[in-house]
Amino acid sequence: MYDARQIKRKSVLLFALSVLTYTAEAQQGENTPTVAPNAGINDFSAGEARIRAGIVLLGMLHDTLAQVQDNNSAEVAVASVMRLSRELQTWGQGFAALPPLDEETQSAYEKRYLPIINKLNERIQLQADRIAAAEYYGSKNLPASLVKLVNSVQ
């Protein structure tokens, strides 16, 4: 059986590391925390917009896991997890085309977005622990899709 803690910790850590790696290399609802709700997408740089898009994907992962309550919903979640796996992989690859960040911008992004990412990580971890404690509600496909998710963002 898969250990959900390892799966979620890896994926959550990889997400946070992706954001930090981008900023370092560039140096160049109630269920999901919001990010500056009154700001339009055009108000952000390409790098900041990409970070925000990643936060949205992480929120979608949380929401998908939160909806798992029985075998049927576990099986339904598999398609979402697989889609998010592909989207997160594409999202991570998109950082390569972005211009470098100056040190001040990098620091501002870290201060602004890491608390949000950490909060989502905590919530995802709670959902992953709950699902693992329920032994994935009997689903064989859900843990396999979570492993695929982790592998796709490595």
What is the predicted pLDDT for the residue at 94?
86
pLDDT of 92 > 70? The answer is yes
- State pLDDT tens for residues 117-144: 999 989 988 998 999 999 999 999 999 9
What is the predicted pLDDT for the residue at 143?
94
Percent of the chain with pLDDT over 90: 44
Q: Which two tokens stand for residue 17?
A: 């590391």
Percent of the chain with pLDDT over 70: 72
